[in-house]
Chain A
Amino acid sequence: MWVKLDRRDARTIAHYTGLLIVGVGLAMVVPLVTALVLKEWDPALDYLMGMGLSCAAGMALALSSPPNTPLNRTNALIVTALAWLAASLAAALPLAFSGNYGSYLDALFDAMSGLTTSGLTLVQDLDHLAMSHNMWRHFTHLIGGQGIVVAAVSIAIGLRGGAMSLYIAEGRDEKILPNVVHTTRFIWFVTAVYVVLGTVALTVVNLNLGMETARSGLHAFWATIATYDTGGFGPQSMNALYYHSWVFEFITVILMIGGTLNFNLHADVWRGDRKELFRNIEARAWGSNVLILVIFSTIGLAATTAFNGVPEILRKGVYHIFSANTGTGHQTLYAAQWAKDYGGLAMGAVILAMAFGGMASSTAGGIKALRLGLIAKGIVWRVRESLAPPSAVIKQRFHHLDDRDLTDSLLNSAFMVFILYMFSYITGGLIGAAYGYPIGDALFESVSAAANVGLSTGITNPAMPALLKIVYIVQMWAGRLEFVALLALFASLAIALRRRRAGRRSA
């Protein structure tokens, strides 16, 4: 049976979506302060206008229902799906006012890319972008990476009634601590620790590279949140290649791994249970993925002539597999080099690394190592069943925080998300190919968008077709929500439209 939404549901959804938009508007105080401190007056005006418009629109929506209206699971799914779009629409406003984007659609693309921690960008003249705009672009990674809902819950903007429903709808179905507010605060605590450590370490690296002090600190902060939140934006058009430093690459890979680690694993290790890192099915599946793909990538790169010697092959190969698999998207190559220099095998390994993705309950995108681990266990289970006598009951166990039995329901869920991701990857690739891009490049870009990675072969640029920009926006949105919440939104809209048509006919 399809659940139909009535007018009261619509008001409740508008109320919570409005509160989240107000939250995004208030977050613009960070780039506003940056602009004021650095005396960037035009950008400061952009953020004042962005804040005003976002808060006004958000408050108007929030007033449609009284505070603390209870939120059921269906409404929570729809609020979550809408939240990412609404937040992106609001976050795009100051970017669109900046004059560094060809259109509002381009600004919306960057806002969605930032909030979903993808990292694909359509900004123009990035190397001369105001510091405050760079602050906002990177800050969207932090807001989105923690999850807009998690961010809202922990800042407590008034989601008491529906916090848990929203938290679950965002795809974070595991509570780390008994209370959802404590759980979200723990997530922020882990993030704060890594962001402080990463910023200090990268500031030292940047100072050593000859950057001036303030710029070193800002670049370090942005690189840290872009890597720890597995985003991929950079303040320079050359992205991570700009730094030409193996120490920078080494530190950012550590941050990428920290960012892709399941928050439950962080919690277990920080409680003293270090063995969980080695026993956990997800950690094992992720480690195996990386190792196998690095081997293929290295074989592929060794067969090319573009990179000189083993050290360069290692730097270009290992870095990009980590960057792709964790969903970060920092690259130390020019976009054109993927097709020209990287070779088919190594590029295939990077595409697979992006498609597979990092761990669940983290900021990473893609299918996720937990699902791949469960599917692998499921295959073993089915083979064991087929070999056993008909009367035998075969059980398959796996370890994820506890020892658990593999069930049909878990396997079905893992396969369903796997198929939805594959469908999205292939559809986006075919649409890109239909516009005349080589199929390999189109598939690379499509997987990068749907898995929220951000590596680019150069297809993503301001001159690309508008429809392809919209396709990638939807892919980033759907990938971040792991499809279910977005499908629930589309289904609800379709049902509401059908009811309205039926009502008109009967009238």
Chain B
Amino acid sequence: MEVMRFHSPYRHWISGLLSELAVFIGFMMFVGLVAYLVALVG
């Protein structure tokens, strides 16, 4: 398992980076949507 853990993080870094950005933007949109609904009700 330790050997698995230390696989190089450089090999797929572009797809990893794009995945991160997609998750960040998705999370922001989700938080924004929840806030929008709360603000509408409030």
Contact = CB atoms under 8 A, between A and B. Distances in A.
A290 B12 CA distance: 29
A270 interface: yes
Given A294-B31, A294-B34, A270 B17 contact: yes
Q: Which of B9, B15, B36, B42 is the most central at the interface, judged by chain A CB atoms within 10 Å of its CB?
A: B9
Interface string A284-298: 000100110011011
Interface residues of A, number: 40
Interface string B1-22: 1000111111111011101110
B4 to A, nearest CB: 9
A60 B35 CA distance: 56
Q: Which of A261, A267, A301, A322 is the most central at the interface, judged by chain B CB atoms within 10 Å of its CB?
A: A267
A254 B39 CA distance: 23
Interface residues of B, number: 31
A314 interface: yes
A254 B42 CA distance: 27
Contact of B9 (A257, A258, A267, A318): A267
Contacts of A269: 16, 19-20
Contacts of A291: 30-31, 34
A470 B5 CA distance: 43
Nearest to B20: A269
Contacts of A297: 35
A258 B42 contact: no
Interface string A133-166: 0000000000000000000000000000000000
Interface string A262-295: 0000111111101001000000000100110011
B34 A295 contact: yes
Contacts of A295: 34-35, 38
Contact of B39 (A261, A274, A314): A314
B1 to A, nearest CB: 8
A178 interface: yes
A271 B38 contact: no
Contacts of A267: 9
Nearest to A303: B42
Interface string A234-266: 000000000000000010011001100100001
Contacts of A287: 27
A254 B35 contact: no
B10 A189 contact: yes
Nearest to B3: A178
Contacts of A464: none
B42 to A, nearest CB: 3
Contacts of B25: 254
A290 B20 contact: no
A3 interface: no
Nearest to A287: B27
Nearest to B2: A178
B15 A271 contact: no
25 contacts: A176-B9, A177-B6, A186-B10, A189-B10, A193-B13, A254-B21, A254-B24, A254-B28, A257-B28, A266-B16, A266-B20, A270-B17, A271-B9, A272-B12, A291-B31, A295-B35, A297-B35, A299-B38, A302-B39, A310-B39, A313-B35, A318-B31, A318-B35, A402-B1, A402-B5
